[in-house]
Copies of this chain bind each other. A is one copy, B any other.
Amino acid sequence: MVGLLLTVIMLLHASSTSYSSSSPSSAVLQTLFQYINDHQNEFVQRLGEWVAVKSDSSNQALWGEVRKSLNMTSDRIQAMGGQVEFAEVGTKQLPNGESVALPPVILAQFKRDPSKPTVCFYGHTDVQPAKKEDGWSTDPYTLTEINGNLYGRGATDNKGPVLAWLHAVETYQGTKQEMPVNIKIIVEGMEEVGSDGLAELIRQRNDSFFSDVDYIVISDNVWVSRHPALTYGTRGSSYFFVEVEGPKLDLHSGVFGGSIQEPMTDLIALLGSLLDNTGKILVPGLNDAVAPLTEEEKKLYEDIHFDLDEMKKTAGVKRFLQDNKEGILMARWRYPSLSIHGIEGAFSDPGSKTVIPRRVIGKFSIRQVPNMEPAVVETQVKKHLEEVFAKQKSPNTLKVTTTVGAKPWMANVNDVPYVAGRKAVKAVFGEEPELIREGSTIPIANNFQEVTGKSTMMLPISGHDDGEHSQNEKISRYNFIEGTKLFAAFFHELAQLQKDS
């Protein structure tokens, strides 16, 4: 992993001095861009039709709408001559015990030319819940344009990007140009609730649907500023459960308070040993594995546009732990972090209750970065907690468990799709993309990369202020339309690179 990171850094550094973009005057691109400009109202109207479908996957009563959104996607693909398979992914057990069939996953492809590279796009058409009463200024299922922004649930997450991808394919057909790449598409309807069945489907189809795929592209995240970006890394994550068990039943704090060592006292001491007030993780050895920061990498962060004041306002925090942009970006992307999420088993309702809980489970997670290994982190955390617990000299029992840790994901920006992506950004936006990471863990990226072994890329077209999952979600007309151009240009540049090599 260190090797990979260094390669990335060196390439990034090299790119800032020697990279030369495709000519924006390329006749092919001009034709494509003109078509997209000419058809933009039609594209926006279609997004309106898609947003009108209440495909909220969190509500099983609305799975019919989820299926409808998948059918609309299929109709679009088939109208362009694509072949669609609705792959069944099993059933889900509802809280009432009933088993219901999950919405299927679309696996689509167009006529294949073995001489061309094959790109597989992943997207989803299900959305987060939305109600006008939640604080939306407009009806969430009526796409509404205000000052160049297209407001509506799913506009940016992820209906807009899925449509932009399809519109990019349509643009080649509409301008009677040969598709420069083979296209495969995977679209699901359960992303917002955990992508039920998808991982298993990828495994099942690894030797068939995915066998001839060269590049997998995901457009389900956002830029970090008003400038276009390519995402080359996400943090991994391990979730820890620290259980302290004491008496055989909950006890009354009046009767037993002062005479027994309470599980909560032990747990608070354990949780309190994890990090300090600067955010530094205090688990011995844990930070040693973090890839060292070189001067070259440090410079990368200088070029990224990131508005501290706007971010403070958005999150409603008075100040960040770091006092400058570079520090904050590094804290989010290239350093590990530890968050304590809560305690199970203790009193958590409003009001007061004088219980001594017999068994409490503290929960925290650690976001991991290159070159941390979840298995090593697990060992370090357990050892640390056991040492702290030993000092408590407690008669209680400690048990530390962890969910399988997701490794940090890191792409090599020297890979063909990143180079193509940078050329495409330059062609569309006239500037270099920001090379960014995500602080969060995006399991689907890891999943594709680990199971298929294919080069996986995150190519966002959504704005940093689009408010995915929030009230007043939107995508700007600019991002939606220029994003469509970006995808069209990306196909072109990808093919060009293949020809050049």
Contact = CB atoms under 8 A, between A and B. Distances in A.
A92 to B, nearest CB: 16
Contacts of A271: 268, 272
Given A248-B315, A316-B247, A355 B341 contact: yes
A256 B321 CA distance: 10
Interface in A235-280: 235, 237, 239, 241, 246-249, 251-262, 264-266, 268-269, 271-272, 275, 277, 279
A340 B268 contact: yes
Contact of A258 (B321, B343, B354): B321
- Please state the number of chain copies in the assembly: 2
Given A269-B277, A272-B269, A275-B265, A258 B344 contact: no
Instruction: Bin the interface of chain A by size.
Output: 35 or more
A408 B76 CA distance: 75
Nearest to A470: B249
B352 A316 contact: no
Interface in A354-373: 354-358, 363, 365, 367
A236 to B, nearest CB: 10
Interface string A462-478: 00000000000000000
A338 interface: yes
Interface of A: 234-235, 237, 239, 241, 246-249, 251-262, 264-266, 268-269, 271-272, 275, 277, 279, 315-322, 328, 331-332, 335-344, 346-350, 352-358, 363, 365, 367, 391-396, 403, 438-441
B253 A337 contact: yes
Residue among A234, A318, A341 with the most chain B CB within 10 A? Answer: A341
A252 B341 CA distance: 10
B257 A321 contact: no
A418 to B, nearest CB: 22
Contacts of A352: 239, 241, 341, 363, 365, 403
13 contacts: A237-B254, A241-B352, A248-B316, A255-B438, A257-B332, A257-B365, A258-B335, A259-B322, A260-B320, A262-B339, A264-B341, A271-B272, A342-B357
Contacts of A318: 395-396
Contacts of A235: 254
B367 A246 contact: no
Nearest to A395: B318
Residue among A241, A342, A365, A438 with the most chain B CB within 10 A? Answer: A342
